[in-house]
Amino acid sequence: MEYTFLSATILLVLITDPLGNIPLFIGCLRGVTARRRVVVILREVAIAFVILLVFMIVGDRFLRMMSLTDQSLRIGGGIVLFLIALRMIFPHPGGPFGHVKGGEPLIVPLAIPALAGPSALATVMLLTSQAPGKMLEWIGALTVTMIVCAIVLVLAERIQQWLGEQTVTAFERLMGLVLVAISVEMMLGGIRSFVHQL
């Protein structure tokens, strides 16, 4: 599957799942003042952006250093994405990443793994390993994705009140279904590529 700027942006938005992360962010930031909440959200989104950007830029060299192939990344990334998609469709009582303790969160669980989780890391590395010449497009797609995440998460409480918790859950499950299809396509692409090399 050949990715474009638009398809890469849509894929990254689905994987980072800002709508699905609304309950997690609201729960984690319950003990934080309203003014401070915006600062914490923007900080966590910025940390996730930097982590994903680093993996996007040096990911290909990291794969070569570890002697990992594009096929193994596609299949492995597809499996991780599939498991996360299943948790979106069939939510865990404590949220996708379990129960979170109070206080102001730093990096975990909001930046990692909520935004920059294993599937997002695998996806940005996959994009650059498949088409390293389109690096500016991938950085642009990642930037747009993080802006969307920041806007949605800053407005998280208003969105949840406006749409209602049931609608947010329905959106998350719908995104989960789309991600299942994308993850299966990633795995099939890796298997096809592996079979052609035999």
Write out the residue range of the structural domain in which residue 161 sits.
5-197
Report long-range pairs for 31-39 (Cβ below 8 Å, ≥24 apart). 31/102, 31/103, 31/104, 32/104, 36/104, 38/154
- pLDDT score of 94: 54
Residue 179: is it exposed, middle or buried by C-beta count within 10 angstroms (0-12/13-18/19+)?
A: buried
Sign of CA dihedral 51, 53, 54, 59: positive
Angle between helices 34-65 and 118-130 (to 10 degrees): 50
- pLDDT score of 1: 63
Annotate 43-88 with three-state secondary structure: HHHHHHHHHHHHHHHHHHHHHHHCCCCHHHHHHHHHHHHHHHHHHH
- pLDDT score of 95: 53
- pLDDT score of 99: 47
pLDDT in tens, the chain (198 residues): 678 999 999 999 998 989 888 877 887 887 888 889 999 999 999 999 999 999 999 887 877 788 887 788 778 878 877 887 787 788 765 555 454 455 688 887 789 888 998 778 888 988 888 888 899 999 999 999 999 999 999 999 898 888 887 887 787 788 778 878 888 888 898 899 889 887
Q: Name the token pair of 47.
A: 């940390």
Which amino acid, residue 176? G
Task: Give yes or no for a contact between 26 and 95, defined as CB atoms under 8 angstroms apart.
Answer: no
What is the number of residues in the chain? 198
Give this prediction's pTM: 0.77
- pLDDT score of 19: 84
Task: Give how many domains the chain has, as a whole number.
Answer: 1
